[in-house]
Amino acid sequence: MLNITTVCGMGFGTSLMLAMQVREILANEGIEADTNPVDLGSFKTMSSDMVVAPADMESQVSGGPAKKIVLIDNLVDKNEVKTKVLEAVKSLLD
């Protein structure tokens, strides 16, 4: 099972919104994953297969513990989130 972390500065708003979107996307595709919304400080101490974060957090999540980084430009664009998340998940599962 994949371990996916969604990140924002405080671990409440953006990371929760992204986690809900990722869970829905993966459920619709029949892909099992453990998706956890966290703050930036917690993320740096965790291991995960993939991190999903706003694009403006690139420097904070790069070089972190995640194998794959997905950066979202427009958090309300469900198609962007779906496309980027599924592409990353498929590359991890191959």
Which residues make Cβ contacts (< 8 Å) with residue 60, sequence separation at least 6?
7, 40, 53
pLDDT at residue 85 greater than cutoff 90 = yes
Give this prediction's pTM: 0.94
Band (94; pLDDT cuts 50, 70, 90):
confident
pLDDT for 56 equals 95
| Domains of the chain, CATH where assigned | 2-93 (3.40.50.2300)
The string of pLDDT tens digits covering residues 5-55 is 999 988 789 999 999 999 999 999 999 999 999 999 999 888 999 999 999
Residue 4's φ and ψ, nearest 5 degrees, are: -115, 135
Q: Are 22 and 4 in contact (CB under 8 A)?
A: yes
Residue 65's φ and ψ, nearest 5 degrees, are: -75, -10
Band (89; pLDDT cuts 50, 70, 90):
very high
